[in-house]
Structure formats: C-alpha cells, structure tokens
Amino acid sequence: MSTVELTKENFDEVVPGPEGKDFVFIDFWAAWCGPCRQFAPVYEKAAERHTDLVFAKVDTEAQQELAAAFGIQSIPTLAIIREGVLVFSQPGALPEAVFEDLIGKARELDMDEVKRKAAESAGTV
C-alpha cells in the first residue's frame, strides 16, 4: 500500500479510533523542506513493505489546521496513532534502519498498558 494523503476532511476515516485495532503512521512534511524530501523515499519504502499498516502524509502547508492540532513545530515530524492513542511523535528525518526499528517497537506495544498509563496520567483512574 502506498501512502495516503491525510486531510482534516478524511482524518476520521483514515485514523482509527479507540476501538480500532490498526495503527497509522503520519509524516508531517512540506514541499520546501529538504529533510522532508530526504525522508520521503524511506517512508514510501516502509509503506510498501508493511502493507498491513496505514502510512499517511500531511502537507503542513495545505493542512495547517491539522498540523496545529498535533502541535507540529518543526518538520518532518513523525507521529504514530494506535487505537486512538498518540503513542509517538518526534521531529526529524529517520534513517531507514531506525525507522524499521521504530515500526517493530510500535507493533510490540502493549496497548492495554499504554491506555492504563494514559488514564493514570490524566487522573481518570
């Protein structure tokens, strides 16, 4: 599967909610950004290798509202949402080996534990 252009219009359709069992990787980028252009082929290759995952891209120039909602301050920024929970967000272009390792770690997350810790830090437990 290739990458999906993520917009505020299709966000709810592409990004899984709390009941979703999938997760989505989001690359926040802009055409004028050199590091974004360097990371793009790494991201595309990962999307082709991991066809069971969703890889989305947000053009921060065209989708300023969506970028603001995620608090994007520098690009590229990679975010991972799993079962409606933001489990990773970090600026910077990643080398291919590091990105592959991150994908593996995201797959291994115990989401029950993640949700429990999120509830504790929010004071809802």
Angle at 96 between CA 74 and CA 36, to 5 degrees: 30
Q: How many alpha carbons lie under 13 Å from residue 90 in its C-beta half-sphere?
A: 8
Q: Which numeric CATH code is attached to 4-122? A: 3.40.30.10
State the pTM of this model: 0.89
Active site residue 115: no
> What pLDDT, on a 0 to 100 scale, did the predictor assign at position 19?
57
- Segments making up each domain of the chain, as ranges: 4-122
Active site residue 33: yes
Q: Which of 24, 26, 33, 42 is catalytic?
A: 33
User: In angstroms, rounded to a whole number, what is the distance separating the alpha carbons of residues 25 and 8?
Assistant: 16
Sheet holding 54-59, edge to edge: 4-5, 54-59, 23-29, 77-82, 85-91
Other CB atoms within 10 A of residue 22 CB: 12
Q: Which of 36, 42, 47, 67 is catalytic?
A: 36
Each of the 125 residues of the chain gets a pLDDT tens digit; together they read 578 999 999 988 888 765 555 789 999 999 999 999 999 999 999 999 999 899 999 999 999 999 999 999 999 999 999 888 889 999 999 999 999 999 999 999 888 888 888 788 877 65
